[in-house]
A = this chain, B = another copy of it.
Amino acid sequence: MRQLDPQIAQDRKRRVLQWVVQNYIHTSRPIASSIIAEEAGLDLSSATIRSILSELEQEGYLVQPHTSAGRVPTDRGYRFFVDYLENVQRLASGEKEQIEKQYCNRLEELDRVLAHTSRLLSTVSHSAGLVLSPRSEAQGLKRLELIGLGGNRVLAIIVTKAGQVRHWPLQLSFVPNEARLRALNRFLNEHLEGKSIREVRSLLAEQLEQAEREMRELQDFAHTLLGELESAVEPDELFLDGATSVVARAEEFEDTREIHSLVRVLEERKVLADMLQEQFRKQLDAAKAGGAPTVRVMIGGENTLPELKHLSLVTTTYCAGDRLVGLLGILGTKRMEYSRMMSLVEYMGRIVSRSLEAWDVEPEGKPKRIPR
């Protein structure tokens, strides 16, 4: 025979690797050379496959659990598989419809949309669904309103442009009557609309020193609200559903200690939320540079959190109006159907973004009721 084209050799190797990963994902059993020879349709004998496999192992794409076993992908193997995915598996159009139905174009609050989304991600993927909500601190305000609750109590309500609603009960140091409250409200909205909570904070702290005489109470109020804002800048809110199913499927963990540290991470949320925030920042930068929002996959040990080393994370960004504001995705076994999951996540990102557009668009027509 003539010299084998090295290009063809590479190509063959790639095909084998892909076949191994694909099938390992489905069967969760180590893949043997004979099976590949028989079923992969490469027209090669098992012996040839074996030599290819051993090369792939040397290059770090595969490992053997033990000598007399088939091959299993390493993180690197999965990585290759994901990077060179061909025939991307789209969501079935039935599924799309199912999902779409959940997002009838009804006016909904951001938080409700997000909570719902994380559930949906979880149920469709059979993994954990997660959504990182926008940092409320940075969002522009639409309204800041005070509602009297009797006595010196008021409920401070903030509605952001993206449709997030936050509220804190306050105890003022004076008892405002209705007229006063109204005046306060007007004043606040005139001066604060469009500002971010962060800005509001500094404005309240500084500028209001010079408020008109008759607005003296404002200072008291400002002081109270400031305190609340400070403590109430909630840790970035994370919607997480389906965590239990991830734990339930975690047989493959070597150690029970590993399971428990995973549980801790999933329960405390703080660490997870920080990690996702970091991830969001990265994808934000990438999007600025590259244009369209992309789906990112972190496989096993690629995750910054060691507790997630047996899991993979698939994420994308979503926007409210025209700004990227948050991250959503799924967290599941390394043995997930990457193609489908990536499609799912991408699709959900688009859907969520679209359903959050509504808040910045001018209103029209009657509200639509959803059918049960």
Chain A residues within CB distance 8 Å of chain B: 107-109, 122, 142-143, 145, 147-153, 155, 157, 159, 163, 165, 167-171, 173, 182, 224, 227, 231, 241-248, 259-260, 263, 266-267, 362-363, 365-367, 369-370, 372
Query: Told that A147-B157, A155-B157, A244-B246 touch, could you supply 19 new A-B pairs with CB distance under 8 A?
Result: A107-B153, A107-B170, A109-B168, A153-B363, A155-B165, A163-B169, A170-B367, A171-B365, A171-B366, A224-B367, A242-B267, A243-B243, A243-B244, A244-B244, A245-B263, A245-B267, A247-B247, A247-B248, A248-B263
A244 touches B263 (CB 8 A): yes
B241 touches A244 (CB 8 A): no
**Secondary structure of the A side of the interface?**
mixed
A109-B367 CB under 8 A given contacts A142-B150, A147-B145: no
CB-CB < 8 A to A150: which residues of B? Answer: 142, 363
CB-CB < 8 A to A149: which residues of B? Answer: 142-143, 159
In whole Å, how far is A251's beta carbon from the nearest beta carbon of chain B? Answer: 8
CB-CB < 8 A to A147: which residues of B? Answer: 143, 145, 157, 159
A157 to B245, CA, bound (A): 36
A369-B163 CB under 8 A given contacts A169-B107, A363-B171: no
8 tightest CB-CB pairs across the interface, nearest first? A171-B367, A151-B363, A107-B169, A248-B263, A244-B247, A244-B263, A247-B247, A145-B147
CB-CB < 8 A to A108: which residues of B? Answer: 169
A370 to B168, CA, bound (A): 14
Please tell me how many copies of the chain the complex holds. 2
In whole Å, how far is A168's beta carbon from the nearest beta carbon of chain B? Answer: 8
CB-CB < 8 A to A245: which residues of B? Answer: 263, 267
Give the nearest-CB partner of A370 in chain B.
B231
5 sample A-B contacts, Cβ–Cβ < 8 Å, listed by A number? A149-B159, A153-B363, A227-B369, A248-B259, A248-B263
A145 to B154, CA, bound (A): 12
CB-CB < 8 A to A173: which residues of B? Answer: 366
CB-CB < 8 A to A263: which residues of B? Answer: 244-245, 248
CB-CB < 8 A to A366: which residues of B? Answer: 171, 173
Give the nearest-CB partner of A167 in chain B.
B165
**Interface core residue of A244, A267, A372 (most chain B CB under 10 Å):** A244
CB-CB < 8 A to A241: which residues of B? Answer: 267
Give the nearest-CB partner of A173 in chain B.
B366
CB-CB < 8 A to A163: which residues of B? Answer: 169
A259 to B182, CA, bound (A): 56
A246 to B142, CA, bound (A): 42
CB-CB < 8 A to A247: which residues of B? Answer: 244, 247-248
CB-CB < 8 A to A170: which residues of B? Answer: 107, 367
A244 to B240, CA, bound (A): 12
CB-CB < 8 A to A152: which residues of B? Answer: 363
CB-CB < 8 A to A155: which residues of B? Answer: 143, 157, 159, 165
A248 touches B260 (CB 8 A): yes
In whole Å, how far is A180's beta carbon from the nearest beta carbon of chain B? Answer: 14
A157 to B363, CA, bound (A): 20
